[in-house]
Structure 1
Amino acid sequence: MGSTTDRASVASSARGRAVHDPSRGPSRGPGPAWALAVVVAANVLVVLVLWASNGNPGELLDGSGPALTSFGRLAGLLASCFLLLQVLAMARIPWVERAVGQDRVARWHRLLGFTSIVLLLTHALAVALGYTLVDRAGFRGELWTIVTTFPGVLLATAATALFVMIALTSMRWARRRLRYESWHLLHLYAYLGAGLALPHQLWTGADFLASPLATAYWWTLYGLALASVLVFRIGRPFVLSRRHRLTVSRVVRETPDVLSVWVSGPRLAHLPVAAGQFFVLRFRTGPGWTRGHPFSLSAAPTPEALRFTFGTRGDDGERLAGLTPGTDVLVEGPFGRLVPGVRTRPGIVAVAGGLGITPLVSLLQDAARTPGTAGPQATLVRRTSTAADQPLAADVAHLVRTGALRVVDLVGPRSTTGTAWLPEHLGHLPGPAALRELVPDLDACDVYVAGAAPWAEAVAADARAAGVPGSALHVERFAW
């Protein structure tokens, strides 16, 4: 399967010619944090204007029944808007991801999703109560009549049930109990839900068809969402996979639960990838190969191969553990802004938690091999539970031997009394002070952080408190 010497030689060979790297050139951080908020606010304003232009505000003064019905229709329109924006947010549109950052887009995706579910339930409850008051009927009977006799409402009810299921499985307590593969499969039903909701709007949504302008807006939003999914979630990965014809070229067992896989192809040198980025990979072997897995590069990319290192404990772990050379690989990406080109300072501090070390090793190798970019000696702050739990140890040791890297190991159980990202024996130190003590030249460095989401967020918060500006702080949260 490969020896320690084999793994170290890979780090050394990474000093050769690089794959085409889109991160080179002027450093530039992600776009302004309010950019996505402006897009959402603009669409909300359009929905409100269209709703008002259809005479709905007057119904708010016609009594409690018409007022509830009108308010419910507005909640439904906003819910539809947010659902479609949510689909667009995670369509993996390349220029959106590059301009704003995948982590920000993912946070907006979750916010829009939960908000849309609340609005959908508000829509159903307000409309049913409104009709109950107008018809002077019982609530349950009126609700049953609406669901079973109004055109498209039964399908919309099924869509709402799907969205509620997705929302519940997205909550933190549920995600802790679900494997990523199971969660990902459940969330594919969001596309089905969006499709089931459309007939209801067409058949009974007066505001959807109230005017040519309203019809044009809604069809445009639906069309953009559908086109984005077809082009960027299906078409682009298909074309990319056909063009590069990637296959597994080598497999190395790092630990009993961690695997390194090399992927190569005849046109790999033309793949626009940078150190620190990640791909969504599908290894075409065994049942369940259609499920995509997000894996970060664990070595600086070369024209000959890309290396990915990942754990094999998930639902798909047994299949992935059996990967063999020659297996075809379908690829989406690359994604992520944890790249060399966002650096604003001469030095690098890489703070890794567990397998968060994978993209950081590729960044550190890239800095060591690229003339004029390494700056002062880089620092790796490596957080692990035990001394034996250190993925890619040979690569790190090679960088240390060549003088390109200084390593600070934080080993031990998590602190329960102090700063959460530190081990127990350092828990008495405030996080910002600990960071400055561990990295004396912090003010001359960009800080790259990668690890589990709560841990990475704690490190990032303490880095900001220690005086690291947002332009010099780059975070990848391992979350779903």
Structure 2
Amino acid sequence: LAPRGRGPARARGVLTVLAWVWPAVPVVAWLATGGLSQAASSPAGLLTGAGILSGLVATAIVVEMLWLAARVPAVERVLGHDRALRIHASLGKPAFLGLVFHGLFVVAGYALADGLTWWGEFGQLWATNDAALAVVGLLLLAVVAASSVAMARARLPHEVWFGIHLLTYVAVAVSLPHQFTMGEVFASGLAAAGWLAVWVVTAFVVLTYRVFLPLFATLEHRLVVTAVTPVARDTVAIDMSGRRLDRIGLEAGQFFTWRFLAPGLWWHGHPFSVSATPDGQRVRITIRRSGAGTDLIATRLRPGTPVLFAGPYGVFTERMRTTDRVVLVGVGSGIAPVLSLMGDLPVRPGAATAIVRAGSVEEIPHRAELHTLAATRGVRLIELVGSRRRHADGSASWLPEGARATSLRDLAPDLADADLYVCGPGPVREQVVGEALVAGLPPARIHAEAFAW
């Protein structure tokens, strides 16, 4: 029953410090090569120096973005998959703008020094292969940035969005040479060797965790679908078996990205959590039909289908717990990881509350299993069903009409002394977290996860 979550909190602090310090490293290299004195020598030097500085900081941020998206286990365990990707997304705008300013200021500085117009200077730079490649890289990043705008992302199928984002790696690769051949910061010596090492290690990490390890794990464990079973309205459970599943590294509450290798399904990659406590013998996920991709899986998937997977990911696990009391909230598809976690949390009877929320009783997946597990583990189980209650201002509550409770604290009176685990659709998840914060629960004891791309 000992709290275990303080270690990850300290590690998050260390990562935060490193994230802020890292962009200063190439700036130090610029200062060491006399960059400050050159920038102060003339107006042209000042413009060029501003361009170099913005490019160095922006490139350092790009390196951080690649590490955050690489699914490095050490980062995943500390930040959680969705938090890492949220930080990754938040860094996109400053990185892109920094690279744009880099190009504008450098061209302006060179033009002033050479006595040319901007277009004339740009033409000279374009004649050099490395500069032209850098411009191509920036244009590719512009396409990626445009696809990341909320309106564009909402309209794009995930597979298209993912394909566009792969251009990021192409953009980085084609713009890399000019970092060494144009300018003096990384032209030679220790700075050049160190910067090259940064990119080599980053490429190795991305390829290892995004490509090679998922392939090796798939070949090692040879997961295949053994059953596809309806478990609630518009919801099916998918059971899978394989080899040496006790070595897969799975914790209750985590999720994988799955690709079912069957015609019409293999090109869909979906993040689904496990819905059964890991036992080393099988893996079960539970999916609700909520779009074209999940409809295809629910209707076309057959036993015997091989499975390609990446993971496990996420920190919706017992490892993050900091107290001896737990409140679990699962809404819709978020009920699945709550069910998995219920069988794994080492809490004494009466010290855990599980709240499941659905539109109707028929929409609660594995309902009989939930009740049996709650009874055997001493978990207080609360079912909330029905359409969402409307507030006086017309906004929707996460609680249903007819519920006597008006807030999360009414449902879990011991909330202030517990860890809260929340999983479900974004707006509902945010409401529950907001109520927990209002009730005085420290953010370090709130574990809310989305199964992000």
TM-score normalised over the length of structure 1: 0.84
Q: Give the alignment of 1:149-188 within 5 angstroms.
A: 149-188=127-166
The change in CA–CA distance for 1:375 and 1:188 in structure 2 (over 3 A counts) is: farther
Alignment counterpart, residue 249 of structure 2, candidates 259, 272, 291: 272
1:440 match: 413
1:103 match: 82
Alignment counterpart, residue 411 of structure 1, candidates 365, 383, 386: 386
The change in CA–CA distance for 1:25 and 1:308 in structure 2 (over 3 A counts) is: farther
2:398 match: 422
- Deviation at residue 400 of structure 1 after TM alignment: 5.3
- Deviation at residue 426 of structure 1 after TM alignment: 8.7
More displaced stretch, 89-98 vs 290-299? 290-299
CA distance in 2, matches of 1:41, 1:104: 17
Measured against aligned partners, the alpha-carbon deviations of 1:110-160 in whole angstroms (never above 9, x if no partner) come to 2332221111111111122223333343334433443x2133122222221
- Deviation at residue 250 of structure 1 after TM alignment: 0.8
- Runs (4 or more) in structure 1 with deviation over 6 Å come to 426-429
Verify the 8 A CA contact 1:415 1:426 in the aligned structure 2.
no
Alignment counterpart, residue 194 of structure 1, candidates 149, 152, 172: 172
Q: 3-state SS of the aligned residue for 1:222? A: helix
The sequence identity of aligned pairs, in percent, is 33
CA distance in 1, matches of 2:257, 2:213: 12
- Deviation at residue 330 of structure 1 after TM alignment: 1.9
1:463 equivalent in alignment to 2:442? no
Counterpart amino acid of residue 37 in structure 1:
T
CA distance in 1, matches of 2:82, 2:301: 30
Measured against aligned partners, the alpha-carbon deviations of 1:360-401 in whole angstroms (never above 9, x if no partner) come to 11112334xxxx534316323333345554344343344456
CA distance in 1, matches of 2:201, 2:397: 41
1:353 equivalent in alignment to 2:331? yes
Q: 3-state SS of the aligned residue for 2:259? A: strand
Measured against aligned partners, the alpha-carbon deviations of 1:89-130 in whole angstroms (never above 9, x if no partner) come to 221111222233333322321233222111111111112222
1:11 match: none
CA distance in 2, matches of 1:293, 1:383: 23
1:247 equivalent in alignment to 2:224? yes
Verify the 8 A CA contact 2:321 2:445 in the aligned structure 1.
yes
1:238 equivalent in alignment to 2:209? no
1:3 match: none
- Deviation at residue 448 of structure 1 after TM alignment: 0.4
CA distance in 2, matches of 1:436, 1:410: 18
Counterpart amino acid of residue 457 in structure 1:
E
Q: Give the alignment of 1:269-418 within 5 angstroms.
A: 269-287=246-264, 289-314=266-291, 316-317=293-294, 319-321=296-298, 322-367=300-345, 373-376=347-350, 378-385=352-359, 388-399=362-373, 404-409=379-384, 411-413=386-388, 415=390, 417=393
- Deviation at residue 206 of structure 1 after TM alignment: 2.9
Alignment counterpart, residue 70 of structure 2, candidates 71, 76, 91: 91
- Deviation at residue 70 of structure 1 after TM alignment: 1.6
More displaced stretch, 77-86 vs 452-461? 452-461
1:82 equivalent in alignment to 2:72? no
Alignment counterpart, residue 203 of structure 1, candidates 181, 185, 189: 181
Q: 3-state SS of the aligned residue for 1:382? A: strand
Counterpart amino acid of residue 220 in structure 2:
R
1:259 equivalent in alignment to 2:232? no
Stretches of structure 2 that go unaligned for 5 or more consecutive residues are none
- Deviation at residue 314 of structure 1 after TM alignment: 4.2
CA distance in 2, matches of 1:191, 1:131: 28
State how many pairs are aligned.
Answer: 448
Verify the 8 A CA contact 1:277 1:339 in the aligned structure 2.
yes
- Deviation at residue 162 of structure 1 after TM alignment: 2.0
Q: 3-state SS of the aligned residue for 1:85? A: helix
Q: 3-state SS of the aligned residue for 1:422? A: strand
More displaced stretch, 322-331 vs 179-188? 179-188
CA distance in 1, matches of 2:2, 2:203: 34
What is the Cα-based RMSD across aligned positions, in Å?
A: 2.9
Verify the 8 A CA contact 1:436 1:466 in the aligned structure 2.
yes
Q: 3-state SS of the aligned residue for 2:328? A: strand
The change in CA–CA distance for 1:174 and 1:259 in structure 2 (over 3 A counts) is: farther
Verify the 8 A CA contact 2:384 2:400 in the aligned structure 1.
no
Q: 3-state SS of the aligned residue for 1:152? A: helix
Verify the 8 A CA contact 1:452 1:479 in the aligned structure 2.
no
The change in CA–CA distance for 1:459 and 1:141 in structure 2 (over 3 A counts) is: farther
The change in CA–CA distance for 1:62 and 1:283 in structure 2 (over 3 A counts) is: same
More displaced stretch, 394-403 vs 51-60? 394-403
Verify the 8 A CA contact 1:400 1:407 in the aligned structure 2.
no
Measured against aligned partners, the alpha-carbon deviations of 1:205-251 in whole angstroms (never above 9, x if no partner) come to 43222x42211221121011111012222222222222211111111
Counterpart amino acid of residue 349 in structure 2:
G
Counterpart amino acid of residue 167 in structure 2:
Y
The change in CA–CA distance for 1:249 and 1:201 in structure 2 (over 3 A counts) is: same
Counterpart amino acid of residue 140 in structure 2:
L
Counterpart amino acid of residue 312 in structure 2:
P
2:39 match: 60
The change in CA–CA distance for 1:126 and 1:172 in structure 2 (over 3 A counts) is: same
Larger RCO: Structure 1 or Structure 2 (Cα < 8 Å, ≥ 6 residues apart)? 1
1:16 match: none
